[in-house]
Structure 1
Amino acid sequence: MEKYIDIISKSYSGYWNYLKYELIDVYHWDNFFYGLIVISLLVWALEIIFPWRKNQSIFRKDFWLDTFYMFFNFFLLNLIVLIALSNTTAEFFNDILSVFGWHVNSLQVFDVDELPRWSGLLILFLISDFVQWNTHRLLHRVPLLWNFHKVHHSIKEMGFAGHLRYHWMEPVVYKSILYIPIAIIGGFDAQDVAIIYFFTIAIGHLNHANLGWNYGALKYVLNNPKMHIWHHAKELPKHTKYGMNYGITLSIWDYLFNTDYIPSDGRDIELGFEDDEEFPKTFIKQSIYPIKTRK
């Protein structure tokens, strides 16, 4: 137990020092904090210049709530929960494997250092996105997980910041399920992660933006605003009660597994879920909603 307490303590101090470094050192290209700000401002500018729903305000409904979620979930949540949880989970998992004489490295199938860099990045990206696509489906199908995911689907007007509006339990679920698949691959460094991070953040922001884009033929590969808005539709199609268009960054999984659904131009459809009028409107109440609901 003392070992785990020490890991948690070092995780907090280490991440706090890292966060201070991110805020101070503006000039390194893989700065996650300022990278998020730059991407957000660029996509917001596109919303302002090319609005799909022209009657939607620039400061749309819940704009500031979603902006708070964006920074809380990507930076403060890591400080409060995820870094310590990830490190202790990894150590606990290693301890379990050691009972059988294994180590997490023994799960490693191959090392991407042995491959060209572009192919290693592609493998990491494809595996991560496919696992997250399946996890996203679970969030819709498992009642307990759906109660957490309702926070994201309580968005009533789409905008770039809605991308990172989610309950703090969601990344716990995503990271826990993603841990083993990523453990079988080795050789990634921080810059590899940064490249994928900036790409997925940009696509995710665009998916939720007030833009009427589908990228032409690339719509069968990349998730896009015209596809993703149907994922947020309040009225679900008759052939599915769990939703559709689960793509995170890629749309190809939905087309491969027949979960795609774009019946028409979804510009003015109502967003949300059944009885969302009763869903809490503030960050604190939305955070405790799943606990109260379970009781």
Structure 2
Amino acid sequence: MEKYFEIISNSYKGYWNYIKQSVLFKLNWENYFYGLILISLIVWGLELAFPWRKNQPAFRKDFWLDTFYMFFNFFLLNLIALIALSNTAAALFNDVLGLIGLSVSSFQLFDINSFPYWLRIFTFFIIIDFVQWYTHTLLHKYEFLWNFHKVHHSVKQMGFAAHLRYHWMEPVVYNSMKYIPLAIMGGFTAQDVAVVHFFNITIGHLNHANINWDYGFLKYILNNPKMHIWHHAKELPEDRKNGVNFGITLSLWDYLFKTNYIPHSGRDIEIGFEGDEHFPKDFINQELYPLNKK
């Protein structure tokens, strides 16, 4: 037990030092703090310069709430719980495997660091994106998980910051689902993660932005604003009630598994979910909603 308390303590210290180094410009390519700010400002600028819904104000409904969510989920949530939880869970999982004579390396099918750089990045990105796509379908399929995911779908006007409005339980689910695939791939560098992560953040921001883009023929590969708006549609056909367009960064999976749905432009459709008028409007009660849901 002492071992796990030490892991938790070291996790807090390590992540707090990382946050300080980020804010004080002591990190370079792995500086997620200023990287997030830069990407957000660029995509917001694109929204202002090329608005799709021209009557939507620059400071749209819940703009500041979503901005708070963005920084809370991306930085403070990790400081409060996720880093310590992830490290402790990984150690516990390894210890349990050790009891039956196994280790994480027992699941390793290949060492991703032995690949050429471009192939290492591509493999890491493709596998993680598919796992996230599949996890996203589960958030819509099962009511217990859907009650957490409602926080994200409570957005009523789409904009870049809506990308990171989600309940703290979601990254717990996503990270749990990614653990085995990451073990199968073997080790990977922090720079690999940073490259993929910044790309995913950029596409995620653009998906939620008020921009009339679909990327031409790339729409069949990359998720985009004109596709993702339908993922947030309040009304869907009866045979699509569990959701559509689940892609995180890639739209490819939706086209492959027939979960794609873009009947028309979708510019002015109502977004949300049935009964969202009764959904809490503030951060605290949105976080508590799944716990109070009977």
TM-score by length of 1: 0.98
2:274 counterpart SS class: coil
Q: Name 2:227's counterpart in structure 1.
A: 227
Moved more, 104-113 or 204-213: 104-113
Structure 1 letter corresponding to 2:9: S
Q: Deviations over 1:23-56 (max 9, x none)?
A: 1126613311000000000000000000000000
Structure 1 letter corresponding to 2:271: L
Q: Name 1:249's counterpart in structure 2.
A: 249
1:66 counterpart SS class: helix
Q: Does residue 41 in structure 1 map to residue 32 in structure 2?
A: no
The whole-number CA distance in structure 2 between the counterparts of 1:202 and 1:26 is 23
Q: Name 1:199's counterpart in structure 2.
A: 199
Q: Name 2:105's counterpart in structure 1.
A: 105
What are the residue-to-residue correspondences of 1:202-281 with 2, within 5 Å? 202-281=202-281
The whole-number CA distance in structure 2 between the counterparts of 1:179 and 1:113 is 17
1:110 counterpart SS class: coil
The whole-number CA distance in structure 2 between the counterparts of 1:133 and 1:114 is 26
The whole-number CA distance in structure 2 between the counterparts of 1:29 and 1:17 is 16
The Cα of 1:108 is off from its aligned counterpart by: 1.1
The Cα of 1:78 is off from its aligned counterpart by: 0.3
List, as ranges, runs of 4+ consecutive aligned residues in structure 1 with deviation greater than 3 Å.
none
Q: Does residue 64 in structure 1 map to residue 64 in structure 2?
A: yes
Q: Name 1:147's counterpart in structure 2.
A: 147
The whole-number CA distance in structure 2 between the counterparts of 1:25 and 1:203 is 25
Question: For the structure 1 residues 85 and 152, does the alpha-carbon distance in structure 2 shift closer, same or farther, using more than 3 Å as the test?
Answer: same
Q: Deviations over 1:156-201 (max 9, x none)?
A: 0000000000000000000011101111112311111000011000
Instruction: Please say if residues 26 and 34 of structure 1, whose CA atoms lie closer than 8 Å, have aligned partners that are also in contact.
Output: no
What are the residue-to-residue correspondences of 1:72-91 with 2, within 5 Å? 72-91=72-91
Q: Does residue 161 in structure 1 map to residue 166 in structure 2?
A: no
The whole-number CA distance in structure 2 between the counterparts of 1:170 and 1:291 is 14
Instruction: Please say if residues 209 and 225 of structure 2, whose CA atoms lie closer than 8 Å, have aligned partners that are also in contact.
Output: yes
Structure 1 letter corresponding to 2:155: I
Instruction: Please say if residues 232 and 272 of structure 1, whose CA atoms lie closer than 8 Å, have aligned partners that are also in contact.
Output: yes
Instruction: Please say if residues 51 and 210 of structure 1, whose CA atoms lie closer than 8 Å, have aligned partners that are also in contact.
Output: yes
In structure 2, list runs of 5 or more residues that go unmatched.
none
The whole-number CA distance in structure 2 between the counterparts of 1:265 and 1:113 is 43
Q: Name 1:17's counterpart in structure 2.
A: 17
Instruction: Please say if residues 233 and 269 of structure 1, whose CA atoms lie closer than 8 Å, have aligned partners that are also in contact.
Output: yes
The whole-number CA distance in structure 2 between the counterparts of 1:241 and 1:29 is 41
Q: Name 2:133's counterpart in structure 1.
A: 133
Aligned length: 294
Task: Supply the RMSD in Å over aligned alpha carbons.
Answer: 0.9
The whole-number CA distance in structure 1 between the counterparts of 2:232 and 2:187 is 37
In structure 1, list runs of 5 or more residues that go unmatched.
none
The whole-number CA distance in structure 2 between the counterparts of 1:130 and 1:141 is 17
